[in-house]
Amino acid sequence: MATTRDWLLDDSPSSRLQARLGRSYRLSHALARNPLAMVGAIIVLTLILVALFAPWIATHSPIGQDLAMRLKPPSWDNWMGTDELGRDIWSRVVYGARITLMIVALVAVLAAPVGLIVGAVAGYFGGWTDRILMGITDIFLSMPKLILALAFVAALGPGIQNAIIAIAIATWPGYARIARAETLTIRNSEFVAAVELQGASSFRVIVNHILPLCTSSMIIRVTLDMAGIILTAAGLGFIGLGAQPPLPEWGAMISRGRSFILDQWWVATMPGFAIVIVSLGFCFLGDGLRDVLDPKHGDRQ
């Protein structure tokens, strides 16, 4: 172990691979020293594991109804109780992790790159390109996220795919703004001037030199936004425009439990807990990543 560690921390790496691995090692080491970030990472990791191994972790079928077992409080058999159709809430929450993870991952995959590219292109070229791209961005930004997502879902029709698309459409403008702001500061730096002087094309400058510097703030921002995305998805589920029954989406579960909130608190509370814990997990992780990746502090580690 000691030798691997020395190899990773070597001040004079002898290959590209070693330099890159060394940097990742230093970053993860710094992240591990931040307790809140570790809590966040563990929560997010748990979410991923639960989603992957849902069939083994769940004790019942997430959609199997048993009207004889309606609205039972938490017990040895049903750890989180049962809902109004006699379905096991623990199993539904476990399967719900899959839906939440899918929403989060797809939104990140759709929205972050679009925002990144639009912002970088606008910031790099400036002038009319900037004005047009940022004009579009501002139109999207001027509307609250949930309302915008609502409008799109209403137009596209309810359903989980449409909810994901709607959330992605509502999220990218924020990333475009950040990417543009970062690009503007990078664009005038001397290292960009230096590659331009070597005859690099605009495409090359943006992709090889500007985007890599925007990504860390983007990763931080996306991680911090995850909580908001989960809440928006839950919100859409809650008003019936997101995942459709019988899919065990957490927001929709809360919505159905609302009618029993006074007498059978667990029906709405258990998925609520799941949302809060996962959102917090992403927030902690995002905060920790910011401490580690932020170029103002990170590289000195």
Partner 1 sequence: MNALAIDNLDISYGDSKVTHGIGFNVAEGESFALVGESGSGKTTVLKAIAGMAKSWTGSISVFGAPRSHGIDRGFAKQCQMVFQDPYGSLHPRKTVDATLSEPLAIHGIGDSGARVDEVMQSVGLDRRFRFRFPHQLSGGQRQRVAIARALILKPQMLLLDEPTSALDVSVQAEILNLLKRLRREQGLTYLMVTHNLPVVSFLCDRLAVMRHGRVVEIADVDQLKRGALVDPYSRELTKFSAAHLQN
Q: Does the CA dihedral 251-253-257-259 come out positive or negative? A: positive
Q: Which of residues 7, 8, 18, 269 is near partner 1 by CB under 8 A? A: 18
Q: Which is nearer to partner 1, 22 or 246 (CB)?
A: 22
Q: Which of residues 87, 209, 221, 290 is near partner 1 by CB under 8 A? A: 209
**Subset of residues 211 to 230 that bind partner 1, contact rule: CB under 8 A:** 212-213
**Closest separation in Å from C-beta 191 to partner 1:** 5
Q: Could you give the CA distance from residue 30 to residue 299 in angstroms, rounded to a whole number?
A: 11
**How many of the other CB atoms lie within 10 Å of CB of 69?**
17
Site for partner 1 contains 126 (CB under 8 A):
no
Q: Which is nearer to partner 1, 210 or 267 (CB)?
A: 210
Site for partner 1 contains 6 (CB under 8 A):
no
Q: Which residue has 């929709």 as its token pair?
A: 252
**Closest separation in Å from C-beta 196 to partner 1:** 6
Q: Could you give the CA distance from residue 244 to residue 253 in angstroms, rounded to a whole number?
A: 10
Closest CA to 137 of 153, 155, 160, 121: 121
Q: Which is nearer to partner 1, 138 or 299 (CB)?
A: 299
Q: Could you give the CA distance from residue 258 to residue 262 in angstroms, rounded to a whole number?
A: 9
**Closest separation in Å from C-beta 197 to partner 1:** 5
**Subset of residues 259 to 298 that bind partner 1, contact rule: CB under 8 A:** 295
Q: Which of residues 196, 239, 260, 280 is near partner 1 by CB under 8 A? A: 196
Site for partner 1 contains 193 (CB under 8 A):
yes
Q: Which is nearer to partner 1, 24 or 161 (CB)?
A: 24
Site for partner 1 contains 158 (CB under 8 A):
no
Quote the tokens at residue 236. Answer: 């859409």
Q: Which of residues 208, 258, 273, 276 is near partner 1 by CB under 8 A? A: 208
**Closest separation in Å from C-beta 21 to partner 1:** 11
Beta bridge partners of 82: 88
Based on DSSP, count helices (H) and strands (E) in the chain, helices before strands.
13, 0
Site for partner 1 contains 23 (CB under 8 A):
yes
Q: Which is nearer to partner 1, 12 or 142 (CB)?
A: 12
Quote the tokens at residue 173. Answer: 């403008």
Stretch that binds partner 1, among 98-106, 122-130, 164-172, 199-207 (CB under 8 A): 199-207
Quote the tokens at residue 85. Answer: 């159709």
Quote the tokens at residue 283. Answer: 């927030």
Q: Could you give the CA distance from residue 274 to residue 97 in angstroms, rounded to a whole number?
A: 9
Q: Which is nearer to partner 1, 195 or 231 (CB)?
A: 195
From residue 212, alpha-carbon distances to 15, 89, 139 in Å are 20, 43, 27
**Closest separation in Å from C-beta 13 to partner 1:** 4
**Residue 94 near residue 253, CB atoms below 8 Å:** no
Q: Which of residues 28, 161, 189, 259 is near partner 1 by CB under 8 A? A: 189
- Counting Cα atoms < 13 Å in the Cβ hemisphere of 99 gives 30
Tell me the residue type at 20.
R
Q: Could you give the CA distance from residue 219 to residue 117 in angstroms, rounded to a whole number?
A: 14
Q: Which of residues 1, 56, 67, 199 is near partner 1 by CB under 8 A? A: 199
For binding to partner 1 (CB under 8 A), which residues are involved? 11-16, 18-19, 23, 189-191, 193-200, 204, 208-209, 212-213, 295, 299-300
